[in-house]
A = this chain, B = another copy of it.
Amino acid sequence: MRASDRAADSLRPIHFEPNVSKYAEGSCLVQFGDTHVLCTATVEQKVPSWLRDSGRGWITAEYGMLPRATAERTNREAARGRQTGRTQEIQRLIGRSLRAVADLEAMADLQVRVDCDVLQADGGTRTASITGGWVALHLAFQRLVKLGVLGAIPLTDHVAAISCGLADGEALLDLDYLEDLSADADANFVLTGRGAIVEVQMTAERKTFSEEAMLQMLVLARRGTDELVSLQRQTLGLE
């Protein structure tokens, strides 16, 4: 048993609360244990300038964290006048992950902005953001279909993400903040509903690692994202 009192391959309690925003076209409050992220999807009639007249749409993401989402307060990025490298790295990852399962041709001239704002952070904020962001995006597309703006939801699959780590040679699923701090390595996997790979990011934090360890983490991640995809389906009433 791990510090967090979970089996190596078990997720934290996961909860999706859809439609939490009065205004956003799609929204979802996602909880991976004590990590809480508010995801909203905003539909705009205007694509970035480099896509204009291309017949394609676009999906982009922004990420932020409230100053006291963490145990130690961090300075507000707006007050410091710039987003950190970490923030930019995460929001680029969220955007790429969502676009990987979208049919941009079918979204012609529409852009969806997915905002992922971390209300409370206990590890895994980027994976919660991707997984909850997909739900918000799906809800926004549902609304566009209902309004007749789109004929069908332009998503080719689910996308879900989960972290893994290595501790004393053992692979662990869905690290919380304390586990992440002491892990020898950590990894983030973004997978589709059918199990295909969208993104993998693996980093040796304290120790380099082997191909075998990498494959063990992938097995756990697949188990985790299968479970997340199933919860996404329940949340959206898809089954």
Contact = CB atoms under 8 A, between A and B. Distances in A.
Contact of A197 (B27, B92, B119, B208): B208
Q: How many copies of this protein are present in the complex?
A: 6
Interface in A186-219: 192, 196-204, 208-211, 213-215, 218
A42 B73 contact: yes
Contacts of A85: 83, 85, 88-89, 91-92
Interface string A211-232: 1011100100000000000000
Interface stretch (A6-14, A62-70, A126-134, A141-149): A62-70
Given A62-B67, A79-B62, A204-B198, A120 B42 contact: no
Contacts of A86: 92
Nearest to A85: B88
Interface in A153-196: 157, 192, 196
A87 interface: yes
A105 interface: no
A81 interface: yes
A135 interface: no
A76 B83 CA distance: 10
Contact of A200 (B88, B119, B122, B214): B214
Chain A contact-residue range equals: 35 or more
Contacts of A201: 199-202
Contact of A40 (B68, B84, B96): B68
B202 A73 contact: no
Interface in A22-66: 22-24, 27, 34, 38, 40, 42, 44, 62, 64, 66
Contacts of A84: 88
A81 to B, nearest CB: 5
B120 A22 contact: yes
B211 A67 contact: no
A92 B44 CA distance: 30
